[in-house]
Structures are given as structure tokens and as C-alpha cells.
A and B are shown apart, each in its own frame.
Chain A
């Protein structure tokens, strides 16, 4: 049973460029959340997708957008990249709301983005 998978694992971009990160949730999970983890910090919630809609959003600008597909996989898009966007981007999946421990997320290994 595959866990949460993310791609690419590492990438380098320059300021002003755009990036798309991809995530496939753990089998049976239909909710996907995205987190940004800067060096030395804890993960910060970006947004959550359920039933192909953005359900909750953290304190991130509109440059951060996402999508969820019918097969529950998800993309995170970041436009107009800034140096400060350099971070590990983590995707997490979970069981449908109300069917499991609310704090139990399964994380992928992340996509490490460097913006030069």
C-alpha cells in the first residue's frame, strides 16, 4: 500500500517563475492538505482540499493556489516566486472527516524548493 507520494523531490527555480508540485494521497484518503516548512520552523498550513474544492486556507497569499482531481490527487501552484518561498512543501492526506482521529495526517516526504 503506497503512502503519500510527492513529486518532484527537489527543484530549483528563479525569482518570478512559477512552480507546480504534485501529490498522490494514501490509498483510501480523500482529503489533501498542503504545508510549507521553512528551515528551522514547523510546518505551516497552506490549504486543504476535499471533494475537489478548497475547504480551508491558511495565511498565504493568492500566489499560492491548488487543485484536487477526481482521483483525489492534488497540485500546489506558486506564482511569481520569491526568495522567501524556498522551503520544504509537504502534502498530507487523511481519512474523510469524522472517520478517524482528527489530528492524524499522513505526510509525504515533501518537495524541496529552492528559489534563487
Chain B
């Protein structure tokens, strides 16, 4: 079983839609999780951290469910500029060591 698993998509949604991605992780002792965004042929960039209490940043909400070992990312009111691949990430235990999922591709259409 892979350490971090994501639905690869693609998710094709119209502008203004709400879309949710889920990600499961295998290491029950994991403490820290993140969502990164990667535009086509570009480098990954940190989107947001995922805290136990959940956190929200504008149109983006991240949730962590430790009992079920999954992480979610909700995007409300999708914009064309949200089109990208969203990578679910688990902290590997030392600075610089991150475990990435394969990514979920989102395409927002006009």
C-alpha cells in the first residue's frame, strides 16, 4: 500500500463549482500534512498546511480525519486559475523529507 494515495482525476468542473479532493495515508503515526499545488510543467508550491482542527484560507478548506487516516481539500467557487495538480503531502519526519501523493488534476472550465 502506497504511503499517500490520491484519486488522480482529472476533475473537470465549471467555474463557480465546489470541488473536493481526498487523500489517504498509511502511517498512523504521521503528524503533519500539507497540500501543494503544481501548475503544468512548473514546480510544486505549498498551498496550505493541514491541522487537526482543520484550517481555511479564503476559498480553500483543508481537513484531517485521523481516525480514518484521510485528508481532504475543498475548493469553493472554483476559478479558471485553480486549474492545476494538487499534491497531498505527508511530512516524512525530517526537514526537507516530504512524501508526496501522485496528485489530483483539476481542470476548471469556463
Contacts and interface: CB of A to CB of B under 8 A. Distances in A.
Interface of A: 31-33, 35, 40-45, 48, 50, 55-56, 58, 90, 92, 94, 96-98, 101-105, 107-110
Contacts of A109: 42-43
Given A105-B46, A108-B43, A48 B101 contact: no
Nearest to B99: A45
A31 B87 contact: no
B17 interface: no
Contacts of B45: 107
Given A90-B43, A104-B46, A109-B43, A56 B96 contact: yes
A40 B102 contact: yes
A101 B45 CA distance: 14
Nearest to B103: A42
Interface of B: 4, 8, 32-34, 42-46, 49, 87, 89, 91-92, 94-103
Contacts of A92: 96
Contacts of B102: 40-42
B44 A107 contact: yes
A28 B5 CA distance: 33
A110 B43 contact: yes
A101 B8 CA distance: 27
Given A50-B95, A56-B94, A103-B32, A44 B44 contact: no
B44 A43 contact: yes
A33 B43 contact: no
Given A90-B43, A90-B44, A33 B87 contact: no
B23 to A, nearest CB: 11
Contacts of A41: 102-103
A42 B70 CA distance: 18
Contacts of A97: 94-95
Nearest to A34: B96
Contacts of B92: 45, 56
User: Which of A31, A42, A97, A98: most chain B Cβ within 10 A?
Assistant: A42
